[in-house]
Structure formats: C-alpha cells, structure tokens
C-alpha cells in the first residue's frame, strides 16, 4: 500500500502542518490502495511563501536556463513513465494499455511541445516606438482533476515553468499518486527550490485557501463547472487571473456522406475510452434522421466490442473513479430510460460477472431529444446519446443548444462541407475527421470555461503584457 505523507515545498519533502490523512480507494477493487497526507491552509501558506521567494530569480532566468530544465524534466519523465502509468491504473482505474499509452504519453507530448514553443517564443516585440514585453504573471495556483491526471498537470506546470512562473500544485484527492511521482520527477530534474511546490488535499482544505490566497497571482483550474464557479468566487476578492477548463457536452456530427457505420463505431469507441471520463468526449452523436436505424445497428455492434473489466487485463473500459461517480452515472442512465430514450446497449447496474468495482456497462441511447437529461447534463461515464437531424441547419442548431462549448466533432468525406459545419459550431476545439494537434488551442466557450491550453496558446495565460512607450523615440517618426 502506498503512503505519501510529505509535501514538496521549497525544494524539500516537508511534513504537513497536521497529521490528517485520507485514504485513496482503488476503484477496481473498492479497497484502500494508499494513504496520503491531507493538507491545510497552513501548508498552502508555506508553499506560497516558497513560491514567492523563488519568483524573483526564476522570473529572471534565461530562455536557455528554462530549456535546460524542461529537457532534464523530459529525460526524468521518460525514465519514470512506467511508474506514472502504474499510479494512474491504481488510483483511477485506467486500463494498463491506456495508462501506458495516452494517459502518460500525453504528458510527454505536451512537454516536448512546450520545449519547441519556448525555443522560438517572442517575449519581446517592437511596435514602432513601443516595446511590448511579455512577463511571467507571478505565483500560480494550479488545481488539477483526476480523470487525465498527467495530461492536466502537464498543460499547467510546463507552460508555467517555461514562462518563468513559480507555482503550487494541488492534484485531485482522487488521483494523488501521480502528483507525488510527478514531484519526484521534477525534483530529480533539478527544479530550483520553491519554483514548483506540491500540496495534497481536497477542495475545502487546500483548493479554497489556494484560490483565495493573497500571495497567488493566478489560478488555473480544471474540473466541473460547479467547482469552477466556486474557484472564481474565492479568487475574486484578490482580482487575480482565473483560467478554467470545465465541463463539456460535445456534439459529434456525422454527415450523410461519411463512411457511416465506421464513423458511428469510432464515435462509440471514443466515448468508451477512459470509461467516458473525458470532458471533451463526443457524448452527443448527431446522425441524419433517415439513417437512425443504420446508426443504431452500428452503435450496438461497437458497444458490444467494448470489453469492460479488470484494468490489468486486455480491456477497453476499467471502472469509473469512485463510488460517487458510479452512483451519478447510474442515476443518469436510469433518467434516460425513464424519459423514453431508446436503450440500444448497456443500461443500469454493473456488467455481468463484475460484482465488485465501480464498473459501468457500455451504454448507448438512441432517438434522444436535446431536452432530455442525458442530452443536457455531462454524464462523465461510458454513455453515448444518439440524436437525429433533418438537415445541416438543424444539426448545427442542436449541436449549439447546450450550456457547454468545450469541443465538437465533424465526420464527412466532403471536406469543404465539414469545414463549413465546423466553423458554425460554438466550441473551443473542433476536430474534423479525428484531427489531433498538440499545438492547437484547447479550451471552452460558455460554461466550459475561459482561457486556452496546449502549445503556444498555453503560454499566454501565464504572461502579463507590458507596454514600454517611448522605448525607441528615434524610430517614432
């Protein structure tokens, strides 16, 4: 059983202010997998003080010094990739293939991308007589979720390091193991004392003091929209910058000219990945109404291929992260049945042969209308809802009829038509025919948040913009 009872503060592993701990439950076994120290406002105070003390020197570091550190982190990260994957599987139930694949390798990809961006990023720009300078925002409070722990730590920590910021990281209490291993990686890479600090704990005990701390200049939060609202409220008295990547209910529009059965199957498979616990997952599949029966047949076959079970086996789906998440997903599946959606595959209760563990049956609903609960609320489980549309105007209207705007998907052979549909979708990231790019901006419209992560766009929220007027008066004319 793992025991992580110290926090990484000021370049050292420090005892917490109190002896409080919390148990981390393995969702595949429902048994305690480890014990982690529970932080408090006093621990946040120490971590912020360490970050503030380190800021003057790190903010003045050169591009090459930051590149040297990031390259050392990449080397250390690759050496510990197996340890990270094991932690992900144990703490949140990701199948081993997913943990060793996307769960960990996304972090490495974002780190490599941050290095590439930093090599050429323009921190200063002359505009006539004015010099525009981009300077590190200061001490950053970083609050990350449990569902893609390494991805979300990577898209916050690496841009913060690259831009000269110092930081305090609070991982989710549901996935604290990866945060501890990650801190060990940064320590091994030689991160200067105080530049990176780690405090474990829950939202009330650590998240609130971090978001409201007067010594924190910026908060970057990924999680639910409800929690994001609270983070913003806590940060507001300090008028600090708040960047949020929140919930989603993303449309997946399959055009009439698409390789139809294959694209339906891809959409189902994408929704089953990570047990549906992905904020940008294509949860609302939109298909031509005239081809609904065809879509149902293809979706049923695809769901049957999504094997669920022990994450150490050759499976597509492990469990969802916790008992609370399991109960929420089950309640929403039952709401779909009660509201009259057609149950195509899966449904309530655990899969056969899995009486223990927070496993959910791969579920598909069809003939869903956009006013149903399962079409409005983010389920965060392996549940696909299929909605019909009469024409492309209606498809776009349905797609945009949501409180969220994190992502969207379009599949079709006619690229011009797919591009035209993508332009009309009100979301921060639109993938045409499974497009993927580490350098593309990622973030949401509406209640899906504000700010952007990934690539060069991930640097901007960690920078203040200063205008030095009259910098070159001889050139003013």
Structure tokens at 250: 């993303």
Annotation: CATH topology of 251-432: Aldehyde Dehydrogenase; Chain A, domain 2 (3.40.309)
pLDDT at 341: 98
Question: Using one digit for the tens of pLDDT, what is the confidence trace for 365-389?
Answer: 999 999 999 999 999 999 999 999 9
Domain ranges of the chain: 2-246+446-467, 251-432
End-to-end CA distance of the chain: 70
pLDDT, tens only, 6-52: 999 999 999 999 999 999 999 999 999 999 999 999 999 999 999 99
The Cα–Cα gap between 185 and 443 comes to 27
CB 117 within 8 A of CB 459: yes
Q: Domain 2-246+446-467: which CATH class? A: alpha beta
Residue 453: phi and psi, rounded to 5, are -120, 175
Q: Does the pLDDT value for residue 308 go beyond 80?
A: yes
Q: Which of 154, 170, 180, 151 is closest to 212 using CA atoms?
A: 170
Does residue 475 have a pLDDT over 80?
Answer: no
pTM of the model: 0.96
201-258: per-residue pLDDT in tens?
999 999 999 999 999 999 999 999 999 999 999 999 999 999 999 999 999 999 999 8
- The encoded tokens of residue 327 equal 């109960």
The closest alpha carbon to 335, from 298, 362, 372, 308, belongs to 372
* Residue 30 annotated to the active site: no
Same fold, 2-246+446-467 and 251-432: no
Segment 399-407 shows an average pLDDT of 98
Where residue 357 falls (left for φ over 0; alpha for ψ -120 to 50; beta otherwise) is left
279 is catalytic: yes
Q: How confident is the model at residue 477 (pLDDT cuts 50, 70, 90)?
A: very low
Going through 115-208 in order, the beta strands assigned E by DSSP cover: 124-127, 130-136, 139-143, 166-170, 196-198
Predicted local distance difference test score (pLDDT) of residue 11: 98
What per-residue confidence (pLDDT) applies to 187? 98
CA count, 13 A, side-chain hemisphere, 358: 25
Which among 245, 378, 453, 456 is annotated as catalytic? 245
Q: Which of 90, 165, 173, 279 is the catalytic position?
A: 279
Query: Token pair 């529970």 is at which residue?
Result: 38
Q: Residue 125: pLDDT above 90?
A: yes
For the chain, give the mean pLDDT.
97
Specify the DSSP class assigned to residue 276.
G
Q: Determine the average pLDDT of the residues in 409-421.
A: 97
Q: In the chain, what percentage of residues exceed pLDDT 70?
A: 99
């Amino acid at each position: 059983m793992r025991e992580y009872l110290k926090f990484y503060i000021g370049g050292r592993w420090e005892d917490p202010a109190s002896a409080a701990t919390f148990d981390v439950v393995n969702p595949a076994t429902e048994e305690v997998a480890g014990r982690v120290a529970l932080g408090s406002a006093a621990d946040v105070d120490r971590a912020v003080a360490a970050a503030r003390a380190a800021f003057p020197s790190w903010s003045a570091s050169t591009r090459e010094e930051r590149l040297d550190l990031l390259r050392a982190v990449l080397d250390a990260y690759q050496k510990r990739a197996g340890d990270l994957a094991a932690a992900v599987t144990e703490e949140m139930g990701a199948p081993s293939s997913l943990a060793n694949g996307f769960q960990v390798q996304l972090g490495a990809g974002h780190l490599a991308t941050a290095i590439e961006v930093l090599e050429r990023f323009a921190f200063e720009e002359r505009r006539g007589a004015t010099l525009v300078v981009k300077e590190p925002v200061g001490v950053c409070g970083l609050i990350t979720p449990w569902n893609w722990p390494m991805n979300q730590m990577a898209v916050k920590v690496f841009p913060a390091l690259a831009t000269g910021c110092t930081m305090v990281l609070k991982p989710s209490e549901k996935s604290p193991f990866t945060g501890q291993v990650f801190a060990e990686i940064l320590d091994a890479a030689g991160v200067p004392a105080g530049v990176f600090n780690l405090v474990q704990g829950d939202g009330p005990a650590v998240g609130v003091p971090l978001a409201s701390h007067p010594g924190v200049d910026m908060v970057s939060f990924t999680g639910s929209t409800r929690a994001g609202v609270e983070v913003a409220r806590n940060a507001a008295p300090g008028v600090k910058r708040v960047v949020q990547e929140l919930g989603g209910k993303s449309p997946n529009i399959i055009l009439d000219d698409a390789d139809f059965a294959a694209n339906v199957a891809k959409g189902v498979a994408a929704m089953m990945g990570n047990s549906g616990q992905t904020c940008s997952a294509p949860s609302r599949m939109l298909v031509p109404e005239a081809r609904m029966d065809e879509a149902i047949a293809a979706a049923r076959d695809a769901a049957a291929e999504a094997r669920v079970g022990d994450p150490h086996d050759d499976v597509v789906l492990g469990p969802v992260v916790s008992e609370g998440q399991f109960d929420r997903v089950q309640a929403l599946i039952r709401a779909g049945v009660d509201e009259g959606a057609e149950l195509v595959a899966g449904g309530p209760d655990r899969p056969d042969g899995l009486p223990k563990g927070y496993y959910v049956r791969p579920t598909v609903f069809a003939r869903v209308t956009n006013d149903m609960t399962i079409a409005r609320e983010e389920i965060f489980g392996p549940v696909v809802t299929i909605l019909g549309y009469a024409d492309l105007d209606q498809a776009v209207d349905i797609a945009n009829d949501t409180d969220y705007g994190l992502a969207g998907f379009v599949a079709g052979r006619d690229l011009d038509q797919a591009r035209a549909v993508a332009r009309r979708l009100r979301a921060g990231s639109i993938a045409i025919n499974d497009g993927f790019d580490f350098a593309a901006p990622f973030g949401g419209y509406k209640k899906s948040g504000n700010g952007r992560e990934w690539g060069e766009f991930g640097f901007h929220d960690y920078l203040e913009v200063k205008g030095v007027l009259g910098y070159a008066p001889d050139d003013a004319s």
